[in-house]
Amino acid sequence: MSIIKNKFYYLFWNNPACRNLFLLSKEELLETRQIGELSAVFTTNRIIVSNAEENEENHIETVKVRSNLYDIDLENSLQKQINFLKPIFEQFLDEKFKKSINKLGYDIENNTLKFITRVLKIILNEEKREELTIKLLQNYGFIGTHLNSFQEVEESMKRGLTPSKKNNLINEQTIYTFFEGIKYVKEMYINHSYKSLYNSNQILVNVLNNEDNFNSRIKLFGELYDSKILLPSTDDAFIECSYCDSNTYKGVFQLKLNPKKLKELKCPVCSKELTYFVPYKLEDELYNIIKSPDGLILDALCNKLNTNRISYQLNCLFFEDIEIDCIFRNNNKIFIVETKMYKQNNTTPEKILSKIKAHFDKLVNDTKRLENIEGFNSYELIPTLMININNESILKEAQLFFKSKEENNKYYISGRITSLNYLDLS
């Protein structure tokens, strides 16, 4: 086993907060994005640590309102720069190239074959490409007849773009306005990136189970960071003081900091704790395990079996239509294991129970079909649905439901619905 997995499973089995976090489905543990308006989604190796909902002030609402209002200001400012520059560029094009553009448009529409032939000659004749291109541009009036090479065209354009008071296109005012517009575009991009953080499907400090709290989650992130399981991200981090007036103190920057030290980020104006959104990423090996079709739960089960020196087989195919995630034997029992990672947030216990019942039903029926196969028929078969739900009441309710079924199928009685927290290998 690699040193990263060794460290991770030490934390996983000894820290309930670690199990609660990493037994989230991959769509909840990792940032998940939707591609445009399509239904296709993909997960990224990005974990966002934030304190935005740590206390009763509900700073995340303050951040959202401020960000949306700032967007309105930026759009208005950018539009002003565009409104200033647009007529200047239009006038420049009319004065310099209106006739040329009209002539080019006429030939493309009315002398299409002739125009295409001239362009193809330029493309296919490498030796005379520069000469033919210059003639074409001169023919339409885009450049003067005194220019005979690309070098001369370049120097002429440089002279035309030299800032001066007499140059209506390039002067002090238009240059200033252009760079102001660039600044607003940059600010709009930064604000958009900011929104992508606080609107993420997960801000993991705040995805807390009942038995977790903010301090236990931050402590866990610190241990993961110390173990190099959680790594700094190259994505920008965002900070803002939610106590001071809007835009008094906010910033975007690269940050390599242990999550447990984030609470030390203070506003230099009011000395209160800053609201932060800091992206991290998982070490590649662990990320690939979580991204795999069976997710972390199957890998964690294998780790537990290896620790107990129990041999097992993965992804076993029978009758061409039955695939079992894991099969292992202990004493006179063979465990037929199906692993499932359910989404836990924004769903109801009823929906989770419905999925559990459907998956356990299928597992029981598959197990019954396996009982007469050589190698199985001399052992007690235990269908085991291994899920990422640690809610004891849900597990008990599902188990009682099947044990009360009147159908003549012994596997409803002997079968198990369990989680890693309640795993019994005997």
Could you count the other beta carbons within 10 Å of the beta carbon of residue 305?
19
CA 344 to chain centre: 19
pLDDT score recorded for residue 303: 94
Torsions phi, psi for 318 (to 5 deg):
-130, 140
φ and ψ at residue 275, rounded to 5 degrees = -85, 130
Q: Are 240 and 275 in contact (CB under 8 A)?
A: yes
Tell me, what's the pLDDT at 417?
A: 93
Q: What is the pLDDT of residues 46-90, one digit of tens each?
A: 888 888 765 555 667 777 787 778 778 878 887 887 777 777 677
Q: What is residue 115's predicted lDDT score, i.e. its pLDDT?
A: 86
Residue 313 has a pLDDT of: 95
Domains and their CATH numbers in the chain: 3-53+203-283 (no CATH), 83-185 (no CATH), 292-422 (3.40.1350)
CB contact set of 165 (below 8 Å; sequence gap of 6+): 171, 172
Tens of pLDDT, residue by residue over 263-321, are: 899 999 999 988 888 889 999 999 999 988 878 999 999 999 999 999 999 999 998 88
Type and span of the H or E element at 138? helix 129-139
Give the residue-averaged pLDDT of 417-423: 88
Residue 188 has pLDDT above 90, yes or no: no
pLDDT band at 114 (very low <50, low <70, confident <90, very high): confident
The pLDDT of residue 404 is 76
CA distance 265 to 277: 12
User: In this predicted structure, what is the pLDDT of residue 169?
Assistant: 61
Provide the pLDDT confidence category of residue 142 given band limits of 50, 70 and 90. confident
Quote the pLDDT of residue 312.
95
Contacts (Cβ under 8 Å, ≥6 apart) of 322: 366, 369, 370
Report how far Cα 89 is from the mean position of its chain's Cα atoms.
40
SS (H, E, C) 358-370: HHHHHHHHHHHHH
Q: How many residues does the chain have?
A: 426
Q: Where are the alpha helices (DSSP H) in 308-391?
A: 349-370
Place of tokens 């835009």: 247
Tens of pLDDT along 309-358? Answer: 999 999 999 988 899 999 999 888 999 999 999 988 778 889 999 999 99
Q: Are 278 and 260 in contact (CB under 8 A)?
A: no
More reliable by pLDDT, 142 or 226:
226
Is the Cβ–Cβ distance between 290 and 26 less than 8 Å? yes
Residue 55: per-residue pLDDT = 52
Q: Tell me, what's the pLDDT at 207?
A: 47
SS3 93: helix
CA distances from 106 to 99, 103, 111, 112, 164 (A): 11, 5, 7, 9, 35
Q: Tell me which residue has tokens 């934390």.
A: 11
Q: Which residue in 286, 211, 209, 222 sits closest to 49, CA to CA? A: 222
How much is the mean pLDDT over the chain? 83
